[in-house]
Amino acid sequence: MSRKNSPDTRCATSDADRLGEALAHGGEGALIYGKEACPHTRRARAALPQAQFVDVLADPAALTEMLRLSGGVRRIPVIASGNAATVGFQRGS
């Protein structure tokens, strides 16, 4: 079976598509993992007002989930939908 048709690829593509749609629609259905005082997190929250914010300082389980989604990268914000995530935020990303 080719990688293109494997179940894992379909799942990842579906999650990536869901993340792209969430980012295109103000963050609807997305989670923003970050810290309240982080300027990058604040910009992501302002640009994606429909996304749910998760403060990783206040919730250790959320920090663990953020690290899983980011592949262990300790940078914020992490914006996720399903199992797809993007690390960092730049307007227009």
Give the span between the Cα atoms of 77 and 83, in whole angstroms.
Answer: 15
When mean pLDDT is compared across 11-15, 22-26, 45-49, 88-92, the lowest value belongs to: 11-15
Q: What's the CATH number where 59 sits?
A: 3.40.30
Residue 93 within a domain: no
pLDDT of 28 = 72
Contacts for 56 with CB less than 8 Å, ≥ 6 apart: 33, 34, 35, 62, 63, 66, 76
Work out how many domains the chain is built from and give that number: 1
In a domain, 92, yes or no: no
Identify whether 58 is part of a domain: yes
Calpha distance 30→41 (Å, rounded): 14
pTM score, whole prediction:
0.74
pLDDT in tens, 28-76: 788 999 999 999 999 999 988 989 999 999 999 999 999 999 999 999 9
CA dist 66 and 78 (Å) reads: 7
Is residue 46, in this structure, part of any structural domain at all?
yes
Q: Which domain holds residue 36?
A: 3-87
Q: Comparing C-alpha atoms, which of 42, 67, 64 is closest to residue 53?
A: 42
For residue 51, being part of any structural domain is answered with: yes
